[in-house]
Structure 1
Amino acid sequence: MKISFLGAADSVTGSRHLVETGGARVLLDCGLFQGFKTLRERNWAPLPVAPDSIDAVVLSHAHLDHSGWLPRLVREGFRGPIHASPATRDLAEVLLLDSAHLQEEDARRANRGGWTRHAPALPLYTSADARRAIARIVPVATGRSVRIGEVEVSMSPAGHLLGAMALRLQAGGRSLVFSGDLGRADDLLMPPPQPLAQADVLLVESTYGNRRHPQDDVQARLGAIVRATIRRGGSVLLPSFAVGRAQALLLVLQRLKAAGEIPQELPIYLDSPMASTATALYQRHAKLLRIPKREAAGLCEGVTLVGKATESQRLTRSRWPSVIISASGMATGGRVLHHLKAMAPNPRHHIVFPGFQVAGSRGAHLVGGAREVKIHGEYVAVKAEVSHLEGFSGHADADGLMAWLRGFHAAPAHCFVVHGEPDAADTLRLRIQDELGWSVSVPEHRASVDV
C-alpha cells in the first residue's frame, strides 16, 4: 500500500490523500488550500500524478477544504466516480457551485478594479467545471460499501457536518482508515462520531490537536454579546460558514428568543443564499441530526432570508440594530465583506467569529487584533468590537480526538497525523505516542510512503 500526502500534510486545508492499493488508485478528498497566499498558490499547481490515472475519489464530507478542488481535478482530466454519502453529495453541489461563482466574481472584480498582477485574472475553475464535477458524484447509501477494483470502501458517521464520514479502505486483507474531520461529543446539531475498532493504517485529523474547547456556554455568551451591542445601538455581524455553522447559529438564536434572553422583535438576517439552501438541506436530512424535527423545521422562523444582492446592499445601509449572519466564515469572500466594510469602522458594532480561523485568513487577522483589514483592494479601519466564539466549532478538540482514538481495539501498524497546523499536528503526535504507545508520525507535504 502506497500513500501520497498531496494536501493537508503541513497545514489544515487542502485535504488530498492518494492511496494506491489492490491495483487501484484512490484519492481520499480533493480539497482547496486556504489561508496564507503560499498555501493558496498550491491550488494552481498540477497534481504530481495524472488526474486521468486516478480510479476514483472518495469524499469524507463537503467542506471546501475537502471537496473544493474537484472541479479543477475534473477540468484537468479526471473521469472516474466521486463517492460520497447522500447528504455530502447534496451539500457539495451547493458549495461547489457557490465556490465557482466566487472564483469567477473575484476574477471579474480584480480585472475591473485593476488590482491584479495577472492580465487578465482568471478563475481557478468555472461554474461549468463545477457542474461537471457534481455530475460525477455517486451517493453511497448508509450501510452500503462500494468496490473500486479490489478495494472495498465503507463509511462511518463522523459527526462534524451533515453527511460527514470516516472512510475505510480494505484490500488484500489490510485496512486503512481516514478520520476525515471528527465532530464533537457535545455538538449542537450532529451526533458524536462513531468509534471504529480496527485499522492497519490510520490517518487522523488534528485541527484542534493542541487545544481544548473553552467551557463557555456559547448560548449564554452570544446572548450577552447581542444584548450589549443592541443597547449601544449597534448590530452583530456573524461571519459564518454557510454549511453547518450558520444552522448552529440559527438554532442558538431561536433558543435565545424562546428563552426571552434576546428581544423577540430583534431582526435576524441570513444574508447568504447558500446558507438558506443549506438550511433547507439540513431540514430535509433532519433524521441525521441530534435535535428534534420540530427544532430543525423552525430554524428560520422569524428570520429574514436575504436573496438578491440589491437586498444585501440595502442591509449594509441599515441603521437599526440587528443580527446578520453572512458567509464566508473566515471572511475570505462573499457578501460578508460588504458588511465588514460598512460595520468595521463603527465602534457600536460587534463582529463575532463563531469558529476556527485558518492562519493567514482575514478572519484570523481580525481575531488576532488587526486594527485595519484589506478588503477589495483597500484598507478598512477596524474600530468595531471583535470576538471569537470557539465554542461553536464543529471539530473535536484534542481530548475528543484522543477519545476517538482510544476506541480502537488494537494499535494500528502506523498512524499518520494530518489536517492540522504544524504545532497542532505535532502536539497530537506526541500525545498519541506517549499516551497510547502507537507508532505515529506527521507526514510532509507531497511525501509518499509504502506501508
Structure 2
Amino acid sequence: MQIEERLKELKDKINEKVPRGINVTQVEFEGPELVIYTDDPKRFADEADLIRILARDLRKRIVVRPTILEDPEKAHGEIKSVVPETAGITDIFFDADTGEVLIEAEKPGVVIGKNGATLREITKHIGWTPKVVRTPPIESSTVKQVRQYLRSVNEDRKQFLRTIGRRIHRDLPARGDETARKDQWARVTTLGCCREVGRAAFLLSTPDSKVLIDCGEKPDNAGATPYIYVPEIYPLSSLDAVVLTHAHLDHCALVPLLYKYGYEGPVYSTPPTRDLSAMLQLDYLDVINKEGRKVPYSSNEVKTYIKHSVTLNYGSVTDIAPDIKLTFHNAGHILGSAIAHFHLGDGMYNIAFTGDFNYAKSRLFNPAINQFPRLEALFMESTYGGSNDFQQARADCEGMLYDTINRVLQRGGKVIIPAFSVGRSQEVMLALEEGMRTNKIPKVKIYLDGMIREATAIHTTYPEYLNTDLRNQIFREGMNPFLAECFQQVDSQDLREKVIGGDPCVIISTSGMLNGGPVMEYLMNLAQDEKNALVFVGYQADGTYGRRIQKGWREVPMGRKGTITINLEIVTVDGFSGHSDRRQLMNYIGQISPRPEKIFCIHGDENNTIDLASSIYKRYHIETHSPMNLETYRMV
C-alpha cells in the first residue's frame, strides 16, 4: 500500500470515530507522529478521551493541530491580553512542529487559571495549544538559542519531519509467511566503546532498518572516532535513525560529523540531551581549535544536528523505523540521560542499551529504571565493573571532600576539582553548598570555570528531570542551592589570573579528565605548590592526564606547553560518579525485570568488562559477552 493510500485509510478511520461536526481536513505523518489537522481544535480538546482512543486503535502517536495557526506575533499579543500581568510571563516560544506555544511564567498557576479556564481562553483566541512551564531560576543562553534557531528553520524542519514520517511508515518488501519467518533477524555491530571507555557507537540492524546508537569521541586519544566507515553502516544515508542516550562527549561529540559525511536523518534524544549536547559540541570545537588541532566538523554541522533533532520524553513509545519502536527510560546518570529500549518487529525481539547509568538515588536524580515490558538482550556499561570497583557511600565521600577542603584551606591552599560540566559539577556544587550552609566547611568562594554555569542553567530549565526532593527545595521551599552566594562564574582571563594568585578557595573547572579546557591553566599554575590539592571526583580514563596523575606521575609532559611538576596533594573521592559501581551493577541484574537472555558488558576497560561478564554468568547463569570492537552479534 502506498503512503497516500495509507493516509487516506487512516483519515477514514479517524472520521468514523470523531463526533459529528468535527472536520478533519488532513492527516499526515510528521516524524514519528500522525498529525490530525482540523478546523476545530477546541472541540477536539473538549473530547478528553478521543485522542487516547485514536492512539490506541490506530497504534500511532497522535497530535492534533489546527489547520491554520495564528501568526506568532499576533498570537503573542493576544496571550498577553488574556493572561493577567501578575503571572510574570518571561518568554513565549511558538513551536510550529507541534502547534504548541510554550509559555514561561514566574507563576504558572495564574497562566493556567482556575480549572484551566485561562488556558482554554488562550486556545480559543489563537488556536495554538498552550503549554505552561515555570521560568527557570537561571536563564540558559543555550536553550534560548536552540529555540530561536528552530523557529528560524521552521519550514525546512516541517518538510524534514514529513520526509522522515513517510520513511518510518514506508511499506516493507512483501514476503511469504515462510520467507518472512526465516528473514526475521536482528544484529548489533560494535563500532566503538568495547573493552574501552569512549567513542560509544553501536549499529542495530534488521532486514529492513538500521539504527545507530550514540557516536562519541575517545577522551584519551585525540582524533580516534568510532568505526563509522565500515561496510555495515556505510553509506550513512542508509541509516533510519540515530539514537543518543545522553550528552557526555564520549557518547555525543561526533554526532554532527555524521551530517558532514552524508547522514540526513533524525537524531532522537530527550530534550535536555539535545540542548546539553549542542552546548558541549560547540565547546568541544572551541577547545580543539584553541589547542591547534584539526576540528572534525564546524558549527554548521551542529546547527544541522539541531535542525534534525527529535525529542522524546521518558516512557513515550515511538516508531523510529518501519519495524522498530523506541522508548527512553531514566538512566539516573546525568540530566536527561536515558536507557534506550528497542521493540523490534511485531514482538520479535526487545533489546536495551543502558548508555551510562546509575542505579542509586543521587542529589540530582532518581535511580535508573530496571522494569521493562519485555527484554531479551541488554548492552550495559561496565565502567566500574571490576571486582574491586566499590565506591564509597555518598555521605562518606562527601565527608572526605569536606575534610580535604578543610585541611587545604587551613594551610592556605587552593582546591582544584576537575569535573565534567554536566553531572558531576552539579552534584559537587550541591554538596559544597550544603557543607557551607551547615558550617561543615568554611565560607569561601567557589569558582566555576568552563561550561559549568551554563550547564547548571539547563538543569533548572528542565526541573521535571530532577529528583523530587531537589524540585521541592527549589520551587516549593524557594531555596535554590545553585544560586548560592558562594558560587562565582569565571568569565574572563583577567578573573582567572586573579583566582590563581588570590586567596584560598575552591575551583571547579572542566574538563573532568584533564584532557583540555580551563582546568589545565589552573593545574599548570598551581601544581607545584604543595599547599594546594587536586581532587578527582569522576572516572579517569586510561591515557588521560587525569589517570596519569592519579597513578602517581610527578612529572607530566604537556607537549608544546612543557612539563608540569606535580607537588600538590592528590586526592580521589569516589562516590560522586554518575556510574554504578560493581555492587550496583550486579544488583541491577539481580533485580531487573524481566531478566534478559543475553547481556553484553561494554564501556569499560578490558579487565572490567571481562570480569563483570564472567561474574554475571556465574551468579545469574545468563549468557554474557565482553565484545570487542568491530564484532557483529546476531540476536535472533
Same fold, TM-score > 0.5, yes or no: yes
Contact 1:57 1:83 (C-alpha < 8 Å) held by counterparts: yes
* Structure 2 counterpart of 1:212, from 390, 393, 396: 390
* Structure 2 counterpart of 1:279, from 429, 452, 456: 456
1:144 aligns with 2:316: yes
Aligned partners of 1:362 and 1:426: how far apart in 2?
A: 25
3-state SS in 1 of match to 2:614:
helix
Could you say which residue in structure 1 is the equivalent of 2:364?
A: 189
* Structure 2 counterpart of 1:21, from 191, 199, 206: 206
Q: CA deviation at 1:375?
A: 3.1
Q: CA deviation at 1:361?
A: 0.6
* Structure 2 counterpart of 1:55, from 240, 243, 247: 240
Could you say which residue in structure 2 is the equivalent of 1:399?
A: 583
1:224 aligns with 2:403: yes
Unaligned runs of 5+ in 2: 1-185
1:343 aligns with 2:526: yes
Aligned partners of 1:346 and 1:17: how far apart in 2?
A: 45
Aligned partners of 1:413 and 1:353: how far apart in 2?
A: 37
Aligned partners of 1:256 and 1:189: how far apart in 2?
A: 16
Structure 1 range deviating more: 342-351 or 368-377: 368-377
Could you say which residue in structure 1 is the equivalent of 2:416?
A: 237
Q: CA deviation at 1:446?
A: 0.9
Aligned partners of 2:563 and 2:312: how far apart in 1?
A: 46
Q: CA deviation at 1:10?
A: 1.9
Could you say which residue in structure 2 is the equivalent of 1:133?
A: 305
Q: CA deviation at 1:55?
A: 1.4
Aligned partners of 1:125 and 1:360: how far apart in 2?
A: 24
Contact 1:203 1:415 (C-alpha < 8 Å) held by counterparts: yes
CA RMSD, 1 decimal:
1.7
Could you say which residue in structure 2 is the equivalent of 1:249?
A: 428
Q: CA deviation at 1:30?
A: 1.0
Q: Map residues 426-445 of structure 1 onto 2, 5 A cutoff.
A: 426-445=610-629
Contact 2:364 2:470 (C-alpha < 8 Å) held by counterparts: no
Which one-letter code corresponds to 1:196 in the other structure? Q
Aligned partners of 1:379 and 1:364: how far apart in 2?
A: 16
Contact 2:201 2:226 (C-alpha < 8 Å) held by counterparts: no
Aligned partners of 2:512 and 2:298: how far apart in 1?
A: 22
3-state SS in 1 of match to 2:483:
coil
Could you say which residue in structure 2 is the equivalent of 1:113?
A: none
Could you say which residue in structure 1 is the equivalent of 2:604?
A: 420
3-state SS in 2 of match to 1:3:
strand
Contact 1:106 1:123 (C-alpha < 8 Å) held by counterparts: no
Structure 1 range deviating more: 230-239 or 398-407: 398-407
1:386 aligns with 2:570: yes
* Identity in percent: 29
* Structure 2 counterpart of 1:155, from 328, 337, 352: 328
* Structure 1 counterpart of 2:470, from 292, 297, 302: 292
Which one-letter code corresponds to 2:376 in the other structure? D
Structure 1 range deviating more: 403-412 or 318-327: 403-412
1:199 aligns with 2:390: no
Aligned partners of 1:7 and 1:137: how far apart in 2?
A: 23
3-state SS in 2 of match to 1:43:
coil
Which one-letter code corresponds to 1:167 in the other structure? A
Q: Map residues 111-126 of structure 1 onto 2, 5 A cutoff.
A: 121-126=293-298
Contact 1:157 1:193 (C-alpha < 8 Å) held by counterparts: yes
Q: CA deviation at 1:20?
A: 0.5
Aligned partners of 1:233 and 1:56: how far apart in 2?
A: 54
Q: CA deviation at 1:102?
A: 1.4
Contact 1:62 1:89 (C-alpha < 8 Å) held by counterparts: yes
Could you say which residue in structure 1 is the equivalent of 2:67?
A: none
Contact 2:370 2:593 (C-alpha < 8 Å) held by counterparts: no
1:373 aligns with 2:556: yes
Sort the Cα spacing of 1:289 and 1:46 in 2 relative to 1 into closer, same or farther, 3 A: closer
Sort the Cα spacing of 1:250 and 1:411 in 2 relative to 1 into closer, same or farther, 3 A: closer
Which one-letter code corresponds to 1:375 in the other structure? M
Contact 1:74 1:133 (C-alpha < 8 Å) held by counterparts: yes
1:175 aligns with 2:355: no
Aligned partners of 2:196 and 2:551: how far apart in 1?
A: 19
3-state SS in 1 of match to 2:592:
coil
Could you say which residue in structure 2 is the equivalent of 1:114?
A: none
Which one-letter code corresponds to 2:323 in the other structure? E
Aligned partners of 2:356 and 2:489: how far apart in 1?
A: 29
Q: CA deviation at 1:160?
A: 0.9
Aligned partners of 2:330 and 2:630: how far apart in 1?
A: 28
Structure 1 range deviating more: 11-20 or 192-201: 192-201
Aligned partners of 2:310 and 2:493: how far apart in 1?
A: 33
Aligned partners of 1:300 and 1:339: how far apart in 2?
A: 24
| TM-score relative to the length of structure 2 | 0.66
* Structure 2 counterpart of 1:69, from 250, 254, 271: 254
Contact 1:362 1:373 (C-alpha < 8 Å) held by counterparts: yes
Contact 2:313 2:328 (C-alpha < 8 Å) held by counterparts: no
Aligned partners of 2:196 and 2:282: how far apart in 1?
A: 25
How many residues are paired up? 432
Spell out, residue by residue over 1:166-193, the C-alpha distance to the aligned partner (whole angstroms, 9 max, x if none).
1111122211111111114142211101
Aligned partners of 1:126 and 1:346: how far apart in 2?
A: 39
Q: Which has the higher contact order (CA 8 A, sep 6+)?
A: 1
Contact 2:257 2:297 (C-alpha < 8 Å) held by counterparts: yes
